[in-house]
Every structure is written in C-alpha cells, then in structure tokens.
Amino acid sequence: MAHTNKERITVEIHNKSYTIIGEEPASHVRMVASLVDQKMSEIHEQNKHLDTTRLAVLTAVNTMNDYLKLKEDYAKLVGSLNRKEDK
C-alpha cells in the first residue's frame, strides 16, 4: 500500500476548533470549513433555539440537498451536451 502524505489542519467551525486530517491541500480544507461555518451561521440566524447537534444535522441536510440539486443539474447538462454532440 502506498504511503500518502496526510496533512493535519485545525479549523474553526461555529466557534469550536476541529483538527482535520486528510490528503487535501490545507487551503481546500479551510475553504470547506469556512463554507460549513457560513451555512451553520445562516441556519443559526433563522433558528437561534437549536443546540449545536441539531444545528449540525440541519446544516448537513441542507448541504446534502444543495449537493443533490447540483448533481442533478450537472447530469442534465452533460446529457444535453451529449445529445448536441450526437446530432
């Protein structure tokens, strides 16, 4: 098995520090953490009564919903491009 260089990056999400270990560049991990933090802040502004666990789950659900919509849009776009190439 090949050895991969894993980086250890500490980020802050919703006023808590998390250490993330992975192969992605630190800049990418920080960007992802920043987007998660932003989404949690948006949801928290609308639902101030949520505890951190519920806020995190709601953030995950919203993020996955956005991801699935983008994935569907991408599939439609690729299908459209393929149909144009076939003509």
Domain spans of the chain, in order of start? 7-86
Taking the C-alpha atoms of residue 72 and residue 66, their distance in angstroms, rounded to an integer, is 10
Taking the C-alpha atoms of residue 74 and residue 84, their distance in angstroms, rounded to an integer, is 15
Cβ neighbours around 18 below 10 Å, total: 12
The mean pLDDT of 24-42, rounded to a whole number, is 97
Say whether pLDDT at 3 is over 70: no
> pLDDT-based confidence at 2, cuts 50/70/90?
low
Whole-structure pTM value: 0.81
